Amino acid sequence: VRTTSSMSEILFKGVIAALVTPLTPAGDIDVPAVQPVVDFLLARGISGLYVCGSTGEGLGLSVPQRKTMTEAAIKAAAGRVPVMVMVAAHSVDDACELARHAQAAGADAISSVAPPSTPGNFDAALVYWTAIGAASALPFYVYWIAATADKTVTPERFVSAMKGLPTFRGVKFTDTDFFKFQQLLAHGTPNAVTGPDEMMVAGLAMGSHGAIGSTYNVHPALATAIFAAFHANQNKEATALQWRMNANIAAMIQLCNCKERGTNIIAGLKLILRELHGLPVGQTCTSLVTPMTADNESALLAAVRGNLE
């Protein structure tokens, strides 16, 4: 277990990969496949892991499967980078069970989206998050998603309410309203990282401590180069690298049919990891992802080949 000190510590910074979950043909967690994926990412500068989130197909997995993936990811990281586990579930009891397990397994933090049954309701989310936060002593991060956030809540009210949770540490912000993001920081959010991969530079410009994203699984070297260039005040270089990365992202959005369902991108991520990086991550959880056509698979591989490093 890594040591996490004061609640004002910036625990997650740099580029954090929203880790894919390797699956066997039977749909079980492919535990031996987790280590090579984590090693691949860390060798390219990834500075943290986000486990069992949307990219990790968490809500499509059973509680035992999520526990298995959590344990495998923590073991693979071996204390080299911090690990945050997304514990939200349709049942608050399951979410609390996952929070307790994450702590026992050696995670560095837990995270939760709004309750799946009541999106867009901050009062309901606060009750849900309070229960999860009380179940574990780990630092707690809210996963702010534009589609499920309560749009009537101001950043000031959000931060004020969240400070009532003793373990609240920060926000994973997957939204394009960067003024709202900056205001979350201004009102005292200790650790805030942005989610839209295609807008990493914009998030950094507004004060983000880092970026958590799905596509960092397939082009981690590009993502970490953007972060390094920005912090070296090489803004033109950071922007040029963002454009390169966005060419990959645009191809994935189109060819994975992400307009139908955002999680469809997972099929493209796993395809690229299998075919271009040689990592046996298996297929996807069919309840969350529409499989790609063979033509779209070929087109995606052609589009990104040579632009991943």
Instruction: Name the phi and psi angles at 104, rounded to 5.
Output: -65, -30
Known catalytic residue at 143: yes
Question: Which of 94, 181, 101, 172 shows the shortest CA–CA distance to 140?
Answer: 172
The pLDDT score that the predictor gives to residue 4 is 44
Per the residue annotation, which of 128, 141, 143, 216 is the catalytic one?
143
What are residue 16's DSSP bridge partners?
48, 212
The pLDDT score that the predictor gives to residue 287 is 86
Mean pLDDT per 10-residue section of the chain, whose length is 309 residues = 57 98 96 98 98 96 98 98 98 98 98 94 96 97 93 95 95 96 96 96 97 98 98 98 98 96 96 98 90 97 97
The pLDDT score that the predictor gives to residue 7 is 58
pLDDT tens digits for 2-32? 444 455 679 999 999 999 999 999 999 999 9
Known catalytic residue at 50: no
Q: What is the spatial distance between Cα 239 and Cα 248, in angstroms, rounded to a whole number?
A: 15
The pLDDT score that the predictor gives to residue 1 is 46
CB atoms within 10 A of CB 186: 12
This prediction has a pTM of 0.96
pLDDT tens digits for 39-93? 999 999 999 999 999 999 999 999 999 999 999 999 999 999 999 999 999 999 9
Per the residue annotation, which of 67, 172, 180, 270 is the catalytic one?
172
**Joined tokens for residue 149:** 């956030």
